[in-house]
């Protein structure tokens, strides 16, 4: 059997570029010619990021057989899932059912999380979460001043006018080790990238400095949104543990802040089977997230459905509809009272792909135990990789544990979720480490920065993971890189 590579050879990519069309043919090439062009030139030049179990970049995920089949049906039937029309199509009912299943899988009561929708991904979900949070903190500011909250809302009056009338100088986003999409969301929503404040502890920057957080919440003429990184993108470490979520909830209530969980990576830890002591640090990282106001998830990561599909959940349906409803568009109304809100009135998009069908299919096909088993295998492989790297003098696991942090050192490998961050101990090799690993085309890892130095990152997220098989290939590649 020929060896399958994760990346196409450079000459294949270069050749494919020479075959691309940049102007529209006058007569058209015809369907058969275009099929040949796609299959012969373009398809071979694509990487196998979803197809291969050894693509470890960007928490990319994959697509289960059930999800792929459902996605083909979604294309074939091409539903525009925007308005709930129960007498015309079942597509919005399928989306509602899939989202209820998601809540059930995550051990969240769907009655409490009635603002739920599928988005294009975690970035869009973070935008929705911050938009709702922005509206909420404005209403709370109006309430504190004894004003009619319905008269002060950004969705009707605009950000500048409303803040000016309420004597607010800023809306700040308080977080730790934020993903870049959070600053992007802040930029899009007019809050600004500089509104995002990183309040992590010095030696464990993914954890909140609660003293600094409360001091920031006390800032005058300022409204606040708290965002929890669940889990941090470079290390996979969780921002909260123990009673941290209760502390955050208390502070949010005291200072009228909105609490949002960015759980694009960490959310699936909620469906791990309970009772495994080796996973206690992971359980702890997603404990009590139901205390938040809103949650971001990413189905095209660890849920293993095709791109693109994000998840958004919130406790505040009315607030979401206030922000996202299509006002004055009678042709978009359902004409009836329903327990299923029209998707176009609770999130960004009006025209929407049938993203729910692959999610529905994969949850139905594999169930809680199947999905939990897949995640356990991914965690097991990540920990095997970490143990191997820690045993090799030429590599170093990151981040380094502070000498005084006995608990962190005791947890050791048990802190590892699905991400392994590392570097080469030789500086010259470290600068080329990611390039050398990926040049083998056998596995793919992401490059990043840690402590101002280049670092490499394994991210385990494909459903096809096999610990023994994949570990043999990974050790072969890493040892080869050290010898070269």
User: pLDDT tens digit string along 4-43?
Assistant: 899 999 999 999 999 999 999 999 999 999 999 999 999 9
The string of DSSP codes covering 16-46 is HHHH---S--SS---HHHHHHHIIIIIGGGS
Q: What is the pLDDT of residue 412?
A: 79
List the chain residues with pLDDT less than 50: 1-2, 409
The rounded Cα 413 to chain-centroid distance in angstroms is: 23
Both structure tokens of 238:
């969780």
User: How is the chain split into domains, by residue range?
Assistant: 76-360
Give the whole-angstrom CA distance, residue 269 versus residue 302.
Answer: 10
Q: What is the pLDDT of residue 334?
A: 64
Residue 305 in contact with residue 409, Cβ under 8 Å?
A: no
Question: Would you give the DSSP letter of residue 200?
Answer: B
What are the beta bridge partners of residue 56? 445
Q: What is the pLDDT of residue 1?
A: 38
The string of DSSP codes covering 272-334 is SPS--GGGHHHHHHTTTGGGSSEEEEETTTTT---S--EEEEES-HHHHHHHH--TT-GGG--
Global confidence as pTM: 0.96
- The string of pLDDT tens digits covering residues 147-190 is 998 889 999 999 999 999 999 999 999 999 999 999 999 999 99
> Of 216, 300, 220, 210, whose CA–CA distance to 250 is shortest?
210
The rounded Cα 387 to chain-centroid distance in angstroms is: 26
Assigned architecture for domain 76-360? 3-Layer(aba) Sandwich (3.40)
**DSSP element (H, E) containing 439:** helix 427-439
Q: What is the pLDDT of residue 454?
A: 98
Beta-strand (E) ranges in 377-452? 395-398, 419-424, 444-450
Helices (H) and strands (E) in the chain, counts: 16, 12
Strand 115-119 to 310-314 pairing:
antiparallel
Residue 467 in contact with residue 428, Cβ under 8 Å?
A: no
Treating both helix axes as pointing N-terminal to C-terminal, what angle do 210-217 and 244-254 enclose, rounded to 10 degrees?
10
């Amino acid at each position: 059997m020929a060896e399958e590579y994760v990346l196409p050879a450079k000459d294949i990519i270069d050749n494919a570029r020479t075959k691309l069309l940049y102007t529209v043919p006058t007569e058209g090439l015809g369907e058969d010619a275009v099929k040949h062009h796609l299959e012969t030139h373009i398809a071979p030049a694509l990487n196998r990021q979803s197809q291969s179990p050894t693509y470890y970049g960007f928490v990319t995920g994959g697509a289960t057989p059930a999800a792929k089949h459902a996605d083909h049906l979604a294309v074939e039937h091409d539903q525009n899932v925007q308005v709930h029309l129960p007498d015309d199509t079942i597509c919005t009912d399928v989306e509602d059912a899939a989202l209820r299943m998601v809540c059930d899988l995550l051990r969240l009561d769907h009655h409490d999380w009635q603002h739920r929708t599928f988005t294009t991904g975690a970035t869009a979900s973070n935008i929705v979460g911050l938009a709702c949070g922005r509206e909420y903190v404005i209403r709370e500011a109006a309430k504190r001043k004894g004003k009619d909250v319905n008269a002060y809302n950004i969705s009707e009056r605009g950000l500048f006018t409303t803040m000016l009338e309420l004597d607010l100088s800023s809306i700040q986003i308080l977080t730790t080790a934020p993903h870049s999409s959070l600053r992007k969301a802040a930029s899009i929503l007019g809050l600004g990238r500089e509104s995002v404040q990183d309040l992590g502890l010095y030696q464990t920057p993914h954890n909140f400095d609660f003293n600094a957080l409360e001091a920031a919440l006390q800032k005058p003429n300022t409204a606040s949104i708290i965002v929890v990184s669940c889990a941090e993108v470079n290390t996979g470490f969780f921002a909260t543990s123990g009673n941290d979520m209760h502390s955050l909830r208390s502070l949010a209530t005291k200072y009228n802040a909105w609490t949002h969980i960015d759980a694009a990576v960490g959310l699936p830890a909620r469906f791990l089977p309970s009772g495994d002591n080796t996973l206690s640090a992971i359980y702890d990282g997603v404990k009590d997230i139901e205390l938040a106001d809103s949650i971001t998830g990413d189905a095209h990561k660890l849920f293993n459905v095709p791109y693109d599909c994000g998840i958004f959940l919130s406790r505040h349906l009315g607030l979401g509809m206030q922000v996202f409803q299509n006002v004055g568009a009678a042709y978009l109304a359902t004409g009836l009272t329903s327990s299923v809100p029209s998707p176009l009135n609770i999130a960004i998009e009006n025209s929407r792909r049938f993203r729910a069908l692959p999610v529905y299919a994969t949850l139905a096909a594999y169930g809680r135990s199947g999905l939990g088993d897949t995640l356990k295998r991914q965690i097991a492989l990540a920990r095997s990789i970490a143990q191997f790297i820690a045993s090799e003098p030429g590599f170093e696991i990151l981040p380094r544990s502070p000498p005084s942090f006995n608990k962190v050192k005791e947890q050791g490998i048990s802190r590892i979720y699905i991400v392994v961050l590392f570097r080469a101990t030789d500086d010259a090799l470290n600068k080329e480490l990611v390039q050398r690993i990926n040049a083998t085309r056998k596995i793919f890892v992401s490059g990043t920065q840690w402590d101002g130095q280049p670092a490499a990152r394994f991210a385990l997220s494909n459903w096809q993971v096999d610990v023994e098989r994949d570990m043999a290939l990974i050790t072969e590649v890493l040892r080869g890189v050290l010898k070269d």
